[in-house]
């Protein structure tokens, strides 16, 4: 294993120290916690809080700032943050109008964020939450359901813009849940992630293999096969998304190609170009596009493809709204 790091046990702390040092004009770390919160205060408006295991950078701390998250709670690598850490994030984020939690659909995240919600309500902080379950790679994965993956960032952006514009807590929850219903993601991996404390890849793919549907923590996908061209990979992922949406000519979509950590932008743009060609064959109207590594899996090679069916023009406006965050989106 080759990593630029010190003791793996101190990785999260050192990551956060470096992050805050770099972006101290935008964010701070709440003393004694792993909570990253924004310096900007939007008094009287709803605050958004998200988080999850580390290893997905720039998610979620990179999206803390004006127009997106009020606070983020990173846990240890691929491990949910504890309820007490989430509770501290809720308290520092709250500006008097309540807090909306944006939670990826994993059992640990659901349990710990829900416990934190209960703790906050004991202190008379009004809290609601949205669960993002956009991964269609393996439908109904386990008892929790579909995993939450890259589409979570689109939820942060759309709901974050609405919060900045003063929307109420319950209306934000409604908007967020509607976005989630129209969101679907599917990915492909060319190589596995290596968790620093483990020291070896989470699974093995031969040099000439890929796997469709691998999760952002290295969860198993739905099929392995010999390596394909970018266009052939795009055909597979677009076919699965077409089955999910059952789209018709003229429908409006946003397209988000996300790198999983070790895939250069050069390859991501090639892949987006192939997706463009395939969607054009069905005469879809593409109103928004985004390419970049925003929800990663440490050093996994691969991409995910997210489509958002546009049901509200305000979503496009929100996706294009400028933000002031460490990672611009």
Domain end (from 131, 152, 181): 181
Q: How far is residue 76 CA from its own chain's centroid?
A: 16
34 in a structural domain: yes
Could you tell me if 190 and 176 lie in one domain?
no
Could you tell me if 46 and 160 lie in one domain?
yes
328 in a structural domain: no
Looking at residue 144, its pLDDT comes to 66
The model's pLDDT over 220-261, given as tens digits with 9 standing for 90+, comes to 999 999 999 999 999 999 999 999 999 999 999 999 999 999
Peptide bond into 58 cis (omega under 30): yes
326 in a structural domain: no
Looking at residue 145, its pLDDT comes to 84
Looking at residue 140, its pLDDT comes to 55
Could you tell me if 148 and 43 lie in one domain?
yes
Q: What is the pairing mode between strands 127-132 and 285-292?
A: unpaired
217 catalytic per annotation: yes
Could you tell me if 147 and 207 lie in one domain?
no
244 catalytic per annotation: no
Domain end (from 139, 161, 181): 181
Q: Do residues 295 and 152 make contact, with C-beta atoms less than 8 angstroms apart? A: yes
Looking at residue 321, its pLDDT comes to 97
Q: Give the CA angle between residues 11, 14, 19 to the nearest 5°.
A: 120
1 in a structural domain: no
Percent share of the chain, pLDDT over 90: 96
Could you tell me if 170 and 188 lie in one domain?
no
247 in a structural domain: yes
Domain end (from 181, 204, 221): 181
329 in a structural domain: no
Torsion from C-alpha of 124, 125, 126, 128, nearest 10 degrees: -130
Could you tell me if 244 and 119 lie in one domain?
no
The model's pLDDT over 170-181, given as tens digits with 9 standing for 90+, comes to 999 999 999 999
Looking at residue 41, its pLDDT comes to 92
pTM, to two decimals: 0.97
Could you tell me if 251 and 285 lie in one domain?
yes
Q: Give the CA angle between residues 171, 111, 94 to the nearest 5°.
A: 45
Could you tell me if 227 and 149 lie in one domain?
no
CATH code, domain with 20 = 3.40.50.10440
4 in a structural domain: no
Could you tell me if 196 and 153 lie in one domain?
no
157 in a structural domain: yes
Q: Which residues in the chain come in under a pLDDT of 50? A: 141
Could you tell me if 143 and 111 lie in one domain?
yes
Catalytic residue among 23, 60, 156, 217: 217
Could you tell me if 187 and 159 lie in one domain?
no
Structural domains of the chain, count:
2
Q: How far is residue 19 CA from its own chain's centroid?
A: 18
Closest CA to 310 of 259, 266, 260, 245: 245
CATH code, domain with 224 = 3.30.1180.20
Catalytic residue among 37, 56, 60, 156: 56
Token couple for 65:
């700032």
Could you tell me if 159 and 64 lie in one domain?
yes
Residue 221: domain span: 183-319
């Amino acid at each position: 294993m080759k990593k630029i790091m010190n003791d793996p046990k101190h990785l999260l702390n050192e990551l956060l120290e470096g992050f805050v040092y770099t972006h101290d004009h935008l964010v701070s770390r709440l003393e004694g916690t792993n909570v990253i919160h924004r310096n900007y205060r939007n008094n009287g408006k709803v605050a958004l809080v998200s988080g999850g295991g580390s290893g997905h950078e720039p998610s979620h701390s990179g999206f803390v700032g004006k127009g997106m998250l009020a606070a983020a709670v990173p846990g240890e690598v691929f491990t949910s943050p504890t309820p007490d850490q989430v509770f501290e994030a809720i308290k520092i984020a709250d500006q008097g109008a309540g807090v909306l939690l944006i939670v990826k659909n994993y059992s640990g995240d659901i349990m710990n964020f829900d416990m934190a919600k209960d703790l906050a309500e004991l202190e008379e902080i009004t809290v609601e939450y949205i669960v993002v379950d956009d991964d269609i790679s393996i439908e109904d994965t386990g008892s929790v359901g579909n995993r939450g993956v890259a589409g979570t960032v689109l939820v942060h952006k759309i709901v974050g813009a609405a919060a900045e514009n003063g929307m109420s807590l319950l209306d934000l929850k409604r908007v967020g849940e509607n976005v989630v219903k129209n969101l679907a993601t599917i990915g492909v991996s060319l190589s596995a992630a290596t968790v620093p404390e483990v020291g070896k890849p989470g699974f093995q793919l031969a040099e000439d293999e890929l796997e469709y549907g691998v999760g952002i923590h290295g969860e198993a996908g739905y099929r392995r096969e010999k390596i394909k061209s970018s266009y052939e990979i795009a055909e597979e992922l677009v076919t699965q998304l077409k089955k999910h949406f059952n789209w018709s000519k003229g429908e409006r979509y946003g397209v988000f190609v996300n790198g999983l950590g070790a895939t250069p932008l050069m390859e991501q743009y090639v892949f987006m170009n192939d997706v463009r060609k395939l969607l054009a064959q069905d005469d879809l109207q593409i109103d928004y596009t985004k390419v970049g590594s925003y929800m990663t899996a440490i050093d996994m090679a691969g991409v995910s493809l997210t489509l958002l069916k546009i049901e509200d023009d305000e979503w496009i406006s929100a996706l294009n709204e400028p933000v002031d965050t460490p990672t611009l989106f």
